[in-house]
């Protein structure tokens, strides 16, 4: 298989690259390094089966040219920061929707019809449901990042309907682990390295979400791709437990060997405007297909803290 991976120099993408190469695929990474890091793929640069292209998806001609000869596209490139939409209101429109359109149009011009997409739990918005299945609707995101993901899902679905594409779309839980560059764990560790006596926690600390370990995420993506053969394959990708933000703070301080850290909450039920404070994803659909996360949410968080602290790449 000749795989084209947008965002392949990023956190999740680079782990996917490792696994695909190990499984014998050829891999092209297309990444502008806006939030990715070349060191994450450095160990592959001399491999014959591997090509790295530093380029932007907003350049349609370039993507169209480079896509030639591939069998399948794993589209992971996007702005990864949910919060940035508050200050850059066109970011997710460009990096989420327009970039996805360019990928699809470039595929159409090259007659490539299989696309795997990294969507997110945030497409569901803020709901009162205890656990969200893929059939939940209406999907009304409350962040511009979520709107970008839902817009991208819509475009992919339309290319399936209009041009006979086939897709595997995954709505991820919060993904954590080695090479993590953003999110609550990285934020807490950075703050505590600066000041080990107190920790600012956004919100009231009771925000409660599922955390999925990155190797489980990659495994789930490939499991669905290899075992589900509908035209539209939509899956939640999550473990079935959750972790609160305060529990993450406790685990980070434990793993850093810090005692008596003062937790200073900024207050309110959410970390920032657009943050969905509590949710659980129902992963029964992919569980029934035969995939299950190997780590619970707390285990994933604990392992990711160790990875980030010890910079395990
Ligand atoms: P990441 O920032 O590490 O990876 C995104 C990659 O895309 C980066 O390497 C970046 O340089 C690249 N990129 C961004 N815009 C680009 C463009 N215009 N052209 C080319 N490359 C571009 O983030 P990640 O956490 O690995 O996320 C990967 C995907 O999974 C993203 O689509 C993200 O929205 C999605 N996702 C992540 C999580 C999570 O918890 N990490 C949860 C849900 C969904």
Give the model confidence (pLDDT) of 104-145 as tens digits.
Answer: 999 999 999 999 999 999 999 999 999 999 999 999 999 999
pLDDT digit string (tens) for 235-278? 999 999 999 999 999 999 999 999 999 999 999 999 988 999 99
pLDDT digit string (tens) for 138-175? 999 999 999 999 999 999 999 999 999 999 999 999 99
Q: Residue 222: pLDDT above 70?
A: yes
Ligand 1 centroid–CA 9 distance in Å is 9
- Do 29 and 19 contact (CB within 8 A), yes or no? no
Ligand 1 centroid–CA 164 distance in Å is 26
Q: Is 29 in the pocket of ligand 1 (CB under 6 A)?
A: no
pLDDT at 312: 65
Domains and CATH numbers, the chain: 2-175+211-237 (3.40.50.720), 177-209+241-311 (3.90.25.10)
Q: Is 276 in the pocket of ligand 1 (CB under 6 A)?
A: no
Ligand 1 centroid–CA 306 distance in Å is 22
pLDDT at 190: 96
Nearest-CA residue for ligand 1 atom 6 is: 7
Q: Is 56 in the pocket of ligand 1 (CB under 6 A)?
A: yes
CA 50 – CA 43 distance, rounded (Å): 10
- Do 29 and 77 contact (CB within 8 A), yes or no? no
Q: Radius of gyration over alpha carbons of the chain, in Å?
A: 19
Per-residue confidence at 24, pLDDT binned at 50, 70, 90?
very high
pLDDT at 45: 97
For residue 288, CA distances in Å to 2, 93, 210, 268, 283 come to 29, 34, 19, 37, 9
> What pTM was estimated for this model as a whole?
0.98
CB atoms within 10 A of CB 144: 22
Q: Is 235 in the pocket of ligand 1 (CB under 6 A)?
A: no
pLDDT digit string (tens) for 223-234? 999 999 999 999
pLDDT digit string (tens) for 174-199? 999 999 999 999 999 999 999 999 99
CA 129 – CA 189 distance, rounded (Å): 32
Mutate to test the pocket of ligand 1, among 7, 35, 132, 236 (most ligand atoms within 8 A of CB): 7
Q: Catalytic site residue 145?
A: yes
Mean pLDDT of 191-220: 97
Nearest-CA residue for ligand 1 atom 1 is: 10
Q: Is 297 in the pocket of ligand 1 (CB under 6 A)?
A: no
Q: Is 174 in the pocket of ligand 1 (CB under 6 A)?
A: yes
Q: Is 143 in the pocket of ligand 1 (CB under 6 A)?
A: no
Q: What is the 3-state secondary structure (H, E, C) of 91-158?
A: HHHHHHHHHHHHHHHHHHHHCCCEEEEEEEHHHHECCCCCCECCCCCCCECCCHHHHHHHHHHHHHHH
Q: Which of 32, 108, 23, 33 is nearest to 73 (CA)?
A: 108
Preceding peptide of 138 cis, ω within 30°: yes
Nearest-CA residue for ligand 1 atom 13 is: 77
Ligand 1 centroid–CA 45 distance in Å is 20
Per-residue confidence at 311, pLDDT binned at 50, 70, 90?
confident
Q: Which residue has the tokens 């007659």?
A: 111
**What are the residues facing 30 on neighbouring strands?**
6, 53
Ligand 1 centroid–CA 160 distance in Å is 23
- Do 84 and 147 contact (CB within 8 A), yes or no? no
pLDDT digit string (tens) for 41-50? 999 999 999 9
Ligand 1 centroid–CA 13 distance in Å is 7
Q: Is 238 in the pocket of ligand 1 (CB under 6 A)?
A: no
């Amino acid at each position: 298989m000749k795989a084209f991976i947008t965002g392949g120099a990023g956190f999740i993408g680079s782990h996917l690259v490792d696994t695909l190469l190990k499984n014998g695929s050829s891999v092209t990474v297309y990444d502008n390094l806006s939030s990715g890091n070349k060191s994450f793929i450095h160990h592959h640069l001399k491999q014959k089966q591997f090509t790295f292209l530093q380029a932007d998806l907003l350049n349609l001609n370039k993507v169209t040219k480079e896509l030639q000869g591939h069998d399948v596209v794993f589209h992971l490139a996007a702005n990864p920061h949910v919060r940035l939409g508050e200050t850059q209101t066109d970011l997710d429109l460009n990096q989420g929707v327009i970039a996805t359109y360019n990928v699809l149009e470039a595929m159409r011009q090259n007659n490539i019809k299989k696309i795997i997409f990294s969507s997110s739990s945030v497409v569901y918005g803020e709901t009162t449901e205890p656990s969200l299945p893929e059939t939940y609707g209406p999907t009304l995101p409350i962040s511009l990042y979520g709107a970008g993901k839902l817009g991208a899902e819509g475009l992919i679905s339309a290319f399936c309907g209009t041009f006979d594409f086939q897709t595997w779309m995954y709505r991820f839980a919060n993904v954590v682990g080695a090479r993590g560059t953003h999110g609550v764990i990285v934020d807490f560790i950075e703050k505590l390295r600066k000041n080990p006596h107190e920790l600012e926690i956004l919100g009231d600390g009771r925000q409660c979400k599922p955390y999925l370990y990155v190797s489980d995420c990659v495994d789930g993506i490939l499991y669905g791709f290899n075992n589900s053969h509908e035209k539209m394959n939509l899956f939640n990708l999550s473990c079935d437990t959750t972790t609160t933000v305060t529990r993450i703070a406790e685990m980070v301080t434990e793993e850093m060997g810090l005692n008596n850290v003062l937790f200073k909450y900024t207050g309110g039920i959410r970390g920032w405007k657009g943050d969905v404070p509590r949710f659980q994803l129902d992963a029964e659909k992919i569980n029934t297909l035969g995939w299950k996360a190997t780590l619970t949410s707390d285990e994933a968080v604990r392992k990711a803290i160790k990875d980030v602290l010890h910079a395990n790449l």
